[in-house]
Amino acid sequence: MNTFEEMEGEFVDHVQSSFGVPVWSIGPVLSSPSGDFEEGGVKDWLDHRDVGSVVYINFGSEISLSGEQIKVVAEGLEASGQCFLWAVKNPPGGEGLQIAVLQQGFRERAADRGLVVTGWAPQQAILSHPSTGGFLSHCGWNSTLESISNGIPILAWPFQHDQPFVKKLLVEELRVAEEVKREAVGNGVFTVTSAEIERGVKLIIEGKEGRDMRRRACDLKDAAIQAVGEGGSSFTNLQKFVSLIHNIPIK
């Protein structure tokens, strides 16, 4: 399992006892920072921001915000007054729709403190940059591990699959995340407001709660480094797994 004992030891033990089979935590297994970091001026832009001042926004490869949701995020970011780096994908409904939403003066008004990247972004490199101080995320597991392994607290906006459960782990158990609160609008439909985005971004970057979450995230970062280092929990677990495989008789 791509996790580590110091982060999820209790839950790994539960899986092992429930299924009665060996389970090894061997993570965090992360992608390497991309060589494309220099493209699009991302690195240069981050290099000119203060340490821990930027909130990074990315909802992964599967989630595409609607045009209305993009507008909500844009309004919340603008109202927050915080620096941001936002990776935006086209929403369902047509090529170029996100460009239309973001070109309603938003980019110009936020040009001094915001950078919008359309499409793919070098996430691991961004999260490991000293200027990055928070991550507005869908709580996908890879994104979660990358954020934790770099000591970055999370503003959690889960959508589907395991993401609500990951949010619960981050917010309630590890206390390294703040949940984006949703409001019911009827018929089982929920929405997020621009005021909530503004609140969350301010909290994660400049609030006392954000500083406390960052401290706990940095503690987990140190634990992750130790886990994969020689003699660490994940290092040892991988050795145990390899030893077991070597001793399985070949039929």
Q: Where are the domains of the chain?
A: 5-237
User: What angle in degrees, to the nearest 10, is found between the helix axes of 194-206 and 67-80?
Assistant: 40
- Using pLDDT thresholds of 50, 70 and 90, give the confidence band for residue 206: very high
Enter the pTM of the model: 0.91
pLDDT at 150 over 90: yes
What pLDDT does residue 120 have?
81
What pLDDT does residue 222 have?
98
Strands 154-156 and 132-137: parallel
What pLDDT does residue 202 have?
98
Percent above pLDDT 90 for the chain: 70
Residue 1 · residue 12 · CB < 8 Å: yes
Partners of 178 in the β-ladder? 155
Q: In which region does residue 84 sit, left (phi positive, over 0), alpha (psi from -120 to 50) or beta (all else)?
A: beta
Rg of the chain on CA atoms, in Å: 20
Q: If you average pLDDT over every residue of the chain, what do you get? A: 90
pLDDT at 95 over 60: no
User: Which top CATH class is 5-237?
Assistant: alpha beta
Residue 190 neighbours by CB distance under 10 Å: 10
One-letter amino acid for residue 73 of the chain = V
Reference 115, options 70, 197, 56, 66; nearest CA is: 56
Partners of 154 in the β-ladder? 135, 177
pLDDT tens, position by position, 153-185: 999 999 999 999 999 999 999 999 999 998 877
> 24 CB contacts (<8 Å, ≥6 apart)?
1, 237, 238, 240, 241
The distance of Cα 74 from the centroid of its chain, to the nearest Å, equals: 18
pLDDT tens, position by position, 53-91: 999 999 988 888 888 888 899 999 999 999 999 998 766
Residue 22 CA to residue 223 CA, distance in Å, equals: 23
pLDDT tens, position by position, 9-23: 999 999 999 999 889
What is residue 22's DSSP assignment?
-
pLDDT at 101 over 90: no
Partners of 155 in the β-ladder? 136, 178
What pLDDT does residue 117 have?
87
Residue 233 CA to residue 239 CA, distance in Å, equals: 10
The distance of Cα 152 from the centroid of its chain, to the nearest Å, equals: 8
Residue 182 CA to residue 188 CA, distance in Å, equals: 12
Residue 193 CA to residue 182 CA, distance in Å, equals: 8
One-letter amino acid for residue 179 of the chain = E
Strands 183-186 and 189-191: antiparallel
> 102 CB contacts (<8 Å, ≥6 apart)?
70, 74, 88, 116
